[in-house]
Structure 1
């Protein structure tokens, strides 16, 4: 497995307000907006995720890690004895993903684009 990108995710109360504030403050542009989650970034590949409430998972993740082989990563996470908090799921927006909780209680979204 190899990591393709890692993006921090901030939980926000008002997505539109957060998008406007962060884009204006940091000079970033909206790369994707699903209404509940959005990613902003620049031409060099720097990104920040903003979300209100995850559309299908029981908790919001704090970071997204995109990998080339999500099933191999899932196996590695299970072998490490970490808690899976959202199972491997083919999401309707074109992402295959799962969430795990690290020893500090942080939730990590691991996925790949389909």
Structure 2
């Protein structure tokens, strides 16, 4: 799922609404919209991440975030934000991919 850094939350909500997306999450600093017919098709926009030092470029949900963290760490990839439980119900970490993009890797608890 792409994550767009944005200071235009209301405008973004309206724009993606024109494309048929509906708001499925809003924490004030991040809004996620999804297609009602294909709920896995999502886009998020955020002002700044609540607990991480940078905004991710995308999010990838995995079945086992602890196993993904171990594999990525062992590969030598740069961990940008450590593995941790977040108050909004996810366990996540950020890693930099080979293209320099920051990926939020998460599992819902």
Query: TM-score normalised to the size of structure 1?
Result: 0.89
Q: CA RMSD in A?
A: 1.0
For residue 65 of structure 1, the aligned residue among 60, 70, 78 is 60
Instruction: Give runs of aligned pairs for residues 13-52 of structure 1, distance below 5 A.
Output: 13-24=7-18, 26-43=19-36, 44-45=38-39, 46-52=41-47
Q: Distance in 1 between matches of 2:43 and 2:99?
A: 22
Structure 1 unaligned spans of 5+: 1-6
Structure 1 stretches of 4+ with a deviation exceeding 2 A read none
Query: Structure 1: how far apart are the matches of 2:82 and 2:17?
Result: 32
Aligned positions of 1:2-17 closer than 5 A: 7-17=1-11
Is residue 86 of structure 2 the alignment partner of residue 91 of structure 1?
Answer: yes
1:7-61 deviations in Å (ceiling 9; x for gaps)? 111111121221122212x111101111111110112121111111000000000
Tell me the SS of whatever aligns to 2:2: strand
Aligned pair count? 107
Aligned partner of 1:3 in structure 2 is: none
Q: For 2:50 and 2:20, how far apart are their aligned partners in 1?
A: 27
| 5+ long unaligned stretches in structure 2 | none
